[in-house]
Structure 1
Amino acid sequence: MGAGNKTLSEATAVIKKLRTPKANLAKVEFLACLTALLLMFLTIFGSSRRRHNHQKLRVLLWAAYTFSSYLIVYTFGLMTEASFQNDLLPVWAIFLMIFFGSSDSYSVHSLEDCEQWKNYAWQYVIKITGVLFLMILSGITLPMISVSTLCLIVPLKVIRRAASLRIASRYGRQMITKSIADYMSSEHQSSEGDLDPSQMRGYNYIVTEGMISPTSLKKLRERKAAAQLEAPNYRKSLEITDRVVTIDKVWKCQGWLLRSGGGDKDSKLKDICLSFSLYKLLRLKFSDYSLPKQAHEKAWKLIQYLCAEGNGYERAFRVAELELSFLFDYFYTKYVTIFQPLGWRIKLVELLFLVIGVPVMVGLCFPWYDSSRSQGEVQLATKGGLSIDFLVTALIVLIFACVELVQCFFMVISEWTKVSLLCKYVRTISWQEGKLMEKLIGLICRTPLPKPWERKIHQYSLLESYDYTPPRWLYNILTDLFMDRIRDGQRESAPAKLSSEVKKAVFHSLMSNPEALQNGQASLIRNEVEHELSWACKLKTQTQVIIVWHIATSIFEHMMPISNSNFLVATNLSKYLTYLVTFYPKLLPDHPYDSEYIFDGIIIEARYLLKGCKTIKERTQRLNNIGKRMNDTGEVIIQGARLGQQLLNVENEPNFIWKVLAEFWAELMVYVAPSDNAIAHAEHLAMGGEFVTHLWALVSHAGIKREPPLE
């Protein structure tokens, strides 16, 4: 009993120490520093999520994003309920409010956060009220004077983030896209019969609208007054003036920097503007706006031109890559508000406050402890007299300065800056005549940036992974409430590099028969094997078609391997489409839950039919035997084995079969690309991106629809 009482008394003493004013002050300082470090982590690694499909990285970023918001609330609570006085509490509170504005490159974690923009705005009102309350209680002190210049940054940062959330929300998307939608609904009429994609003649696609001047506002009012006497027009007008930059203006620019025979021989600078204009059109898919058929036909001629010459598929893919990077920034960063006509000016004001405020704070807040500074104030200091309070403040200020400088650097070299400079260059004759300005813009625009997405195609092999069982202690009925469940058989294979052979094959298929996409049957007809193999394209669901052909391709891969481009294309695309079925069925034609249900059934079938097979060789041989003796078309595994046996029995060399499979999978890749689920593609932009999303962007511009399978 004596030992138990002693332990209890010791625990009570520890609890009392944790509740002392100094202990509470230490908690406030620790949490403020931790919040600052989390913000730095989000700033540096925030944009990495679109370049890497690593689950651990996504979890870390999600934890930092979520945890920092809770830390800010909790720390504010400790400050407002503190039973002690410290002159630096309002200073730390102001920095917490600045951190509440979040990182420019990580404004939201998921698209659902965008819909909470009103909630975020009200949180700001409540928190800033608490900060003002703290400042009133603290009175006018030296630290408060030193941080006064930084106080003005708070509304700038928070309002910008709230505006970014609002613009990326469903309402905001419709609001800012209406003018482009109304303009593009009739844009094709201005260039009928006079189109030349090589010179962009007739392509009046908007790159930037420019800033409306007071004179323009006066003319706008006059037009509205005159319009009241006419029939009402409910379209949102977008007048093409000298301030508006269109694609044809970019191509007509006579400045050396943008001339094909001058500083833009590879057209990469002009393509930056082209990608930005196409990104604006792609936003229509997220706002429930549609374009007339003639507008899609016009866009298709442009895509055909991009793919026409030599390795034009690389150029088309590069344009789509950059277009999707702009779309990612629109949804997940603050760049869309920073690069508004007044946005970058506000950003410069922030930097001005940073330049003035930080030196003032460092100069006034001398980092040594002064016991006579405030009577009765609770402070923390080392034994040598060094003020821990000021050290914490200095660390927070240093992190804040580093974050702002890093964000400024990212902003300067971003693709948004390049678009802004190039459009200004097109509008300004003096820039086109200034060699120094041309060199500066060229230097910025040709600064190499990290790859815009992962540039890998993920792989899944049914024969390798059907027997995988995830750990039940981690994935079970209880943990389903907290994390995405990993089902039986869901184990990804090593990803493959997106090769030029794969891109070329897919783009060639896209160019071959765009008006009536088929799920592989056109390629079978071209190779004159439709009578033997087309039955496998007419199954009930697209999921079954993919898995059956995947099984057959896997059998042929292990029994007739060769080393050529057709082998690479067929095996990579087979495993990639099966990967989408297994992990991301939302990006495919079938209902996602139907795909999941079918996949679960296929795993059960595979475990029954391949029971006892330990190696790939044994599994392939078992399937080969099944294909020889069974003609039942009921089970997907048996259907795949049957198709694999048919491929082996075709009286041609393996090279021919691999050509058939490569063309089939390339056509099937294009067939699944059209989708009305634009949000699913936007979600995957924050997870490393998907190859199918790049195709989806191109076929969306062209208005290409998927045809039902041939009977």
Structure 2
Amino acid sequence: MSDFEANAYGDLLAFWAPFLLLHLGGPDTVTAIALEDNELWVDLLNRHLLSLLFQVGTASYVFYQSFPNSKLIVPTIFLFIGGTIKYTERTCALYFASFSGLRRSLLPPAQAGPNYAEIMKQHVATGRTRPTTPEAPRGGTHDEAEKGNPLDDRTVIEEAFFFFTTFKGILVDLIFNFHEENSSRKFFTSNHAKDAFRIIEAELNFFYDVLYTKAAIVHRPTGYLFRAISFGSIVAAFACFYVLNKHGFHEYDIQITYTLLLGAVSLEFVALGLLICSDWTIAKIVTSEKHRGSQFKGSIFIDFFLMVKSESSPFALPMICARWSRSLFQYNLIESRLRKWPKWIEKLIDPHLRMREWLEDLKSERMREWLEDLKSERVEPYSEELGELIFIELREKASSWTKRKMTHFGRDECERKQICSARGERALENRIKTGQDCQKLLRFVRDFDYGESLLLWHIATELCYNKDENENHHRKYSKVLSDYMLHLMIKEPDLMSVVVGIGQIRFRDTCAELDRFLSQYILNESNPNKTEKYVCEQLLDVPTTEPPAEVKGDGSKSVLFDACILAKELEELKENKWEIVSEVWVELLAHAAINCRPYMQAQQLSKGGELLALVWLLTVHLGLSEQFQIATGHNFH
């Protein structure tokens, strides 16, 4: 290699160095895989910032070594600027997405409040009955929707962005005032279930963008400016290299350089398209149109953005319009115990071979857990009918609390806490008030803790579901919610850790008792009936005149036959049975959502989202949360 070719190769190496910065900056759609990536900011050495400084310093050193004789000095400068901006964007996004950084950015300025000393002096001097304090301004600037009119996509994104900016402090356990609560509750109670969940889906999408993408950094005036500079720099670097006289460069090196440049430019155009079509861009344009009379009003650009994001549009792009997985994982206790082996193992093992007996003997507790994880879980698609069932129940609960609040202002917070802590008893009490005989069911929620009650009602729901074959949407969705909640308790214990307690112990004891029952009465060679329905029939045939605790003692935490007693009590309700069961399940779901820590909800967003997260945010907007605790002063006379 001649000196000229060596210098050319060195120039190319200097030109390639900024590509490291460019690709370390990553795509706009991913900055963190998990929340822990953001939390590295709490480390003493501040790894993200050190990484930024180290990588920029390395690229600068390589660039310095080729300066000023490099033929590629101009495109290298352009690429260095673009790469530095991209990597800085990622670093800033990780900082502001950390819970400590997010909390600092959301904390309101310190307020001393009204001058108590001055107010009391005036009160004594004027002789008024009670002191006067200024009334706080009402929160909320959006228009309340007219009930009966479905919301268009533009309004959904606008309202979702409004509520996101109002309530994003919920992620870091900030509290809100009652004016914000009233504004939110009035809006959601005046809408249909479908529109309420559409808004919440879009709002959760904003939460996801803040925590896991660069959206919060890019979608601000300085962010748009630097994005324009980085985009222009990368395109300019490509143009400069394209028109450059490449005499002395090896053909293979030129091909590599073009590949790197084309990849960088392509990624920039994709990022630009996603940025333009994002909810953030639409929300900001619509807000500008509404408040400033923007020239974008009625433009074909917004209509096009909405067209590719609307799920009902034939031109919709799935990767853009999808907001969450719309899937509910299902875990059924009886089904899982009947199917001991994953299906693919069942096909490989002949039941008459000794290998099955050998494997049965080998199954330790750890191996049981491993095989349990291998079993494929059922998935039920989320339906609007299920969302409507949940929404109606929670809206009625919020409405009943609002009426009590207006008539008994002094007890409103106590009433709110009781509603938030309800896990089935309020649904049963309301049925009793309407004259229905649900008194015997109350003990199955009052006398059992949450984890025990959830497992109890899950088994009872399964027993009743297999005995009653009448088509009923309350029956269908009671089973869906039942299997979904057990999946959360068993497969997502972190989400339920606050409310479940020793649910895992009870679950294992219940599984042990069910396994013994199945081995004695169901799983034998002479019995061809090994279906869930047959198992449920056999369980219901067991005499349950005496409480299981009195017969067996308290050594086992199993609730198998307590559930049989509950199922028999439910069977006596006949036509109203499934309405009551569905109401109890909605309350159990809401209780778990209300008490789940926001950090755990935020973690779940990176996995495709959960119905639990939607219900959590819905309860907040309906005022069914203990994070509304700031009462403003009243005008006393």
TM-score range for the pair, normalised by the shorter chain length: 0.7 to 0.9
Deviation at 1:95, TM superposition (A): 0.3
Query: CA separation in 2, counterparts of 1:401 and 1:418?
Result: 24
2:593 pairs with 1:673: yes
- SS of the residue corresponding to residue 105 of structure 1 reads coil
Distance 1:622 1:184 in 2: 67
Report SS of the residue matched to 1:142.
coil
The aligned amino acid for 1:571 is K
* Aligned residue number for residue 573 of structure 1: 481
Aligned equivalent of 1:639, options 553, 558, 562: 562
Q: Deviations over 1:125-183 (max 9, x none)?
A: 11222223323334533344433211111221111111111111122111221249989
Per the alignment, do residues 592 and 110 of structure 1 end up closer, same or farther by CA in structure 2, a change over 3 Å counting? farther
Amino acid aligned to 1:444:
F
Q: CA–CA distance in 2 between the matches of 1:101 and 1:362?
A: 24
Residue 92 of structure 1 pairs with residue 22 of structure 2: no
> In the alignment, what sits opposite 1:285?
170
1:316 aligns with 2:196: yes
Number of the residue aligned with 1:304: 189
- Sort the Cα spacing of 1:627 and 1:348 in 2 relative to 1 into closer, same or farther, 3 A: farther
For the Cα contact (< 8 Å) 2:495–2:596, is it kept in 1? no
Structure 1 residue 103, shift from structure 2 partner? 1.1
Report the alpha carbon displacement of residue 618 of structure 1 after superposing the two structures with TM.
3.8
For residues 573-616 of structure 1, the C-alpha deviation after alignment (integer angstroms, 9 at most, x for no partner) is: 11111111111233336456633333333333332232253432
Equivalent in the alignment of 1:128: 56
1:147-296 matches, cutoff 5 A: 147-179=76-108, 189-190=135-136, 203-204=139-140, 246-247=141-142, 266-296=151-181
SS of structure 2 residue aligned to 1:109: coil
Structure 1 pair 445/500, CA: closer, same or farther in 2 (3 Å)?
A: closer
- Tell me the secondary structure at the aligned position of residue 289 of structure 1: coil
State how far apart, in whole Å, the 2-side matches of 1:96 and 1:145 are: 18
Q: 1:584 aligns with which of 492, 495, 509?
A: 492
Taking a change above 3 Å as real, the CA distance of residues 431 and 593 of structure 1, as seen in their structure-2 partners, is same
Counterparts in 2 of 1:425 and 1:544: CA distance versus 1, 3 Å: same
Q: Give runs of aligned pairs for residues 471-620 of structure 1, distance below 5 A.
A: 488=372, 491=375, 493-514=377-398, 515=401, 516-517=419-420, 518-525=422-429, 526=431, 528-588=436-496, 590=498, 594-611=502-519, 612-613=522-523, 614-620=530-536
How many pairs were matched up? 525
Is the Cα–Cα contact under 8 Å of residues 466 and 533 in structure 2 kept in the other structure? yes
TM score, norm. by length of structure 2: 0.75
Q: 1:388 to 1:183 in 2, by over 3 A?
A: farther
Separation (CA, whole Å) in 2 of partners of 1:415 and 1:167: 19
Q: How does 1:396-435 map to 2 (within 5 A)?
A: 396-429=260-293, 431=295
- Aligned to 1:496, what secondary structure does the other structure show? strand
Report the residue type matching 1:313 in the other structure: A
Is 1:441 paired with 2:349? no
Say whether the 8 Å CA contact 1:167–1:173 is kept in structure 2: yes
Q: Secondary structure at the match of 2:16?
A: helix
Per the TM alignment, residue 442 of structure 1 is displaced from its structure 2 partner at its CA by 3.4
In structure 2, the residue matched to 1:688 is 608
Are the structure 2 counterparts of residues 693 and 114 from structure 1 closer, same or farther at C-alpha, using a change threshold of 3 Å? same
Give the Cα separation in 2 of the matches to 1:183 and 1:698. Answer: 32
Q: Which residue of 1 aligns with 2:527?
A: none
8 Å Cα contact 1:465/1:490 also seen in 2: no
Conserved? CA contact 2:139–2:180, under 8 Å: no
The verdict on how the C-alpha distance between 1:511 and 1:428 changes in structure 2, with shifts beyond 3 A counting, is: closer
Structure 1 contact 536–545 (Cα < 8 Å) conserved: yes
Task: Note closer, same or farther for the CA distance 1:98–1:413 as it changes in structure 2 (3 Å cut).
Answer: same
Q: Distance in 1 between matches of 2:35 and 2:391?
A: 30
Is the CA contact (8 Å cut-off) linking 1:279 and 1:326 kept in structure 2?
A: yes
Q: Deviations over 1:283-334 (max 9, x none)?
A: 212233212345434432232222xxxxx11111111111100000000000
C-alpha separation between the residues in 2 aligned to 1:588 and 1:599? 14
Residues 92-111 of structure 1, C-alpha deviation per residue, up to 9 Å, x if partnerless? Answer: 22101111111110011111
User: Cα 1:294–1:427, aligned 2, differ >3 Å: closer, same or farther?
Assistant: closer
Q: 1:444 to 1:182 in 2, by over 3 A?
A: farther
Unaligned runs of 5+ in 2: 115-133, 310-319, 346-358, 402-418, 524-529, 627-637
CA contact (8 A) 1:627 1:641 kept: no
Contact 2:234 2:264 in 1 (8 A): no
Instruction: Give the SS at the match of 1:458.
Output: strand
Name the CA distance, whole Å, in 1 between partners of 2:460 and 2:23: 54
| Other-structure match for 1:112 | 36
Name the amino acid aligned to 2:609: G
Pairing 1:366-377 to 2, within 5 Å after superposition: 366=246
Cα distance change on mapping 1:705 and 1:288 into 2, 3 Å: closer
After superposing the two structures, state which structure 1 stretch, 411-420 or 142-151, moved more. 142-151
Amino acid aligned to 2:51: Q
Residue in 2 aligned with 1:455? Answer: 326
The whole-number CA distance in structure 2 between the counterparts of 1:182 and 1:445 is 41
Q: Distance in 2 between matches of 1:180 and 1:577?
A: 41
> Post-superposition shift, 1:452?
0.7
Q: Output the amino acid matched with 1:504.
A: E
Give the Cα separation in 2 of the matches to 1:570 and 1:289.
34
Structure 1 residue corresponding to 2:237, chosen from 338, 345, 357: 357
| Code of the aligned partner of 1:524 | L
Alignment of 1:30-69 (within 5 A): none
Report percent identity of matched pairs: 21
Alpha-carbon contact 1:124-1:158 (below 8 Å) kept:
yes
CA RMSD of aligned residues (A): 3.4
TM value normalised by structure 1: 0.67
Alignment of 1:72-91 (within 5 A): 86-91=10-15
Of the structure 1 ranges 130-139 and 156-165, higher mean CA displacement relative to structure 2 is found in 130-139
Distance 1:165 1:348, change over 3 A: same
Taking structure 1 as reference, are residues 520 and 184 closer, same or farther at Cα in structure 2, changes over 3 Å only?
farther
Give the superposition deviation at 1:400.
1.0
Is the 2:40–2:48 contact (alpha carbons within 8 Å) kept by the matching residues of 1? yes
Match for residue 541 of structure 2? 625
Distance 1:189 1:459 in 2: 50
The answer to which structure, 1 or 2, has the higher relative contact order (CA under 8 A, 6+ apart) is 2
Q: 3-state DSSP class of the match of 1:457?
A: strand
What's the secondary structure of 1:247's corresponding residue?
Answer: coil
Amino acid of the structure 2 residue aligned with 1:632: P
TM-superposed deviation, 1:446: 4.3
